[in-house]
Structure 1
């Protein structure tokens, strides 16, 4: 299976939300990284057939998805950033409702609901009201509904938004398992959510794909440019104005451990570090005031 996004552009009057994007997706996990407003959601909604592009085409195994129509839509499982549910729905009732909307026969839907409840570890809360679930559990319900029609293409928009670290780890494990025979496209601005499970990553900025490839290939551009240094805490305010700092950690002796990106070692007995995907992401979005985590 191959999904080809070819020269996709989406304009809203004078605003270009997506600009000449090209991607070729095959089974596995694909990360779509970018800050809020970079065009990720618009692109994903076009891929799902929810929005119509201004120019360009999308092909599934050589056929235009517009020509495939409902046949293509039946292959899609979509989890929007804020998926809707009625506040009085219980988990199982909600899944039955979504199964009916997707046209699943009643007999098949019962079997499928049991299957997705198991895959997303929701069996113990199947009778609970969705509004009373934790943020992580609600996202699992979102993934469960996206799986009901046995999609071959899963599109997940900011699926870990609001999740705690433990829930994010569980989510990554679920997605890795699901992606063995599917195309899974995950949009996020949390690099760690896709760094270790995505076969490839596309980085999007201002509606354009500005970098694409495996994690190993992408971080090569920063080889020899990521440093770590220990400096007095009182000097940090000056240091951060001179260097692009991606992470800082306080020490107990009045000093700070600083990770930064620079063409040169500079000073303070800096030690060269192996770059990670987050280093590259922060470097590409260095004017967006994004705070990093430790690699």
Structure 2
């Protein structure tokens, strides 16, 4: 399902959460990346028909989000950043309740629920009370409820925030599998989720799109600007205002650093091939400098 966003803006009194946002989502897994407060959740809520824009237009397939919200909802599965379940119900009971609210016919619910649970790896826990679930299992159950009704579009907001590494890796695998059958819009501030799961990505900063392209294109922004270097603490203190830190670890009384910057640190750095995180840091660190949108 194709998603088209044209000159979308949203204001809250004196705050402009979105400013003339435009891009298209052709299908697969599309990532929406940006720091906290960039406008990601506002955009997701507009796409999910939960919030009206101040200006602009959004089309989901053949339907206008503002004028035809009920049609959009029939083709939509949504996992918000914050959600809850009734802990005293089993996963199957909870999904049966949600399926009924979504209008899934009674004679189709069992099959729909079982299919959704298999998709997220919870089929063996279907009769277990939700209050016994881990945080990662609850997130996967959240995806399962979004799959009920066989939606064409899945909107998933910050699904891996707070998860342990094992559950985060599992979640990325689920996103990749779902992208072969649905259009998935994945909002996150965790760059590794984008790198692992997404075909394309848009970066929001201060309510504007500052990049739209492939993860490889985002990484390329930092080409020739990524360095590994070992410094003592005094040297790093003197240099840190000129570089953006990607990672650091103590090593033999010094600190081993991965940095993004235009110059080789003290002439001792080893140049490295950039990753998506390097490109993202290079992009958003250019305050108010918006890069050419990549369409390739």
Q: TM-score, normalised by structure 1?
A: 0.92
SS at match of 2:115: helix
Alpha-carbon offset, residue 128 of structure 1 = 1.8
- Cα distance, 1:269 vs. partner? 2.0
Q: How far does the alpha carbon of each residue in 1:125-176 deviate from its partner, in whole angstroms, 9 at most, with x for none? A: 2122212210100000100000011111100000011111111111111111
- Aligned partners of 1:51, 1:162: CA distance in 2, in Å? 26
Q: 1:173 to 1:37 in 2, by over 3 A?
A: same
The residue aligned with 1:206 is 206
Give me the whole-angstrom Cα distance separating, in 2, the residues matched to 1:222 and 1:242: 15
How many corresponding residue pairs?
Answer: 287
Q: How far off is 1:193 after superposition?
A: 0.9
**Cα–Cα, structure 1 residues 93 and 260, in superposed 2: closer, same or farther, change >3 Å?**
same
Which residue pairs with 1:292 in the alignment? none
1:175 corresponds in structure 2 to: 175
After TM superposition, give the deviation of residue 281 of structure 1 in Å: 2.2
Aligned residue number for residue 15 of structure 2: 15
* Match in the other structure for 1:115: 115
Which has the higher mean CA deviation after the structures are superposed, 240-249 or 172-181?
A: 240-249
Pairing of 1:15-34 with structure 2 (within 5 A): 15-34=15-34
1:67 shift after superposition: 4.1
Aligned to 1:134: 134
Counterpart check, 1:217 vs 2:217: yes
Coordinate RMSD, CA, aligned: 1.7
- Map 1:62-211 → 2, pairs under 5 A: 63-211=63-211
Are the equivalent residues in 2 in contact too, given 1:230–1:268 (CA < 8 A)?
A: no
Whether the aligned pair in 2 keeps the contact of 1:231 and 1:268 (CA below 8 Å) is: no
Question: What SS does structure 2 have at the residue aligned with 1:150?
Answer: coil
- Name 2:253's counterpart in structure 1: 254
> What TM-score, normalized to structure 2?
0.92
Q: 1:14 to 1:234 in 2, by over 3 A?
A: closer
Unaligned runs of 5+ in 1: 289-295
Structure 2 SS opposite 1:144: helix
Contact 1:27 1:181 in 2 (8 A): no
CA–CA distance in structure 1, aligned partners of residues 40 and 52 of structure 2: 15
The CA deviation string for residues 61-111 of structure 1, in whole angstroms up to 9 with x for no partner, is 454234443222111100001112223222111100100110001111110
Report the Cα distance in structure 2 between the residues aligned to 1:80 and 1:18, rounded to whole angstroms: 19
Does the aligned pair in 1 maintain the 2:247–2:259 contact within 8 Å? yes
Aligned partners of 1:60 and 1:116: how far apart in 2? 23
Q: Could you tell me how far apart the structure 2 residues matched to 1:244 and 1:182 are? A: 37
Secondary structure in 2 matching 1:159: coil
Q: CA contact under 8 A between 2:221 and 2:283: conserved in structure 1? A: no
| Whole-angstrom CA distance in 1 between matches of 2:275 and 2:263 | 18
User: For the residues of structure 2 that align with 1:55 and 1:178, how far apart are their CA atoms?
Assistant: 31
Q: Spell out, residue by residue over 1:39-76, the C-alpha distance to the aligned partner (whole angstroms, 9 max, x if none).
A: 10010010111111111111234542344432221111
The 8 Å contact of residues 229 and 268 in structure 1, kept in 2 or not, is answered as no
| Structure 2 alignment gaps of length 5 or more | 288-296
Query: How far off is 1:240 after superposition?
Result: 2.1
Deviates more, 1:262-271 or 1:165-174: 262-271
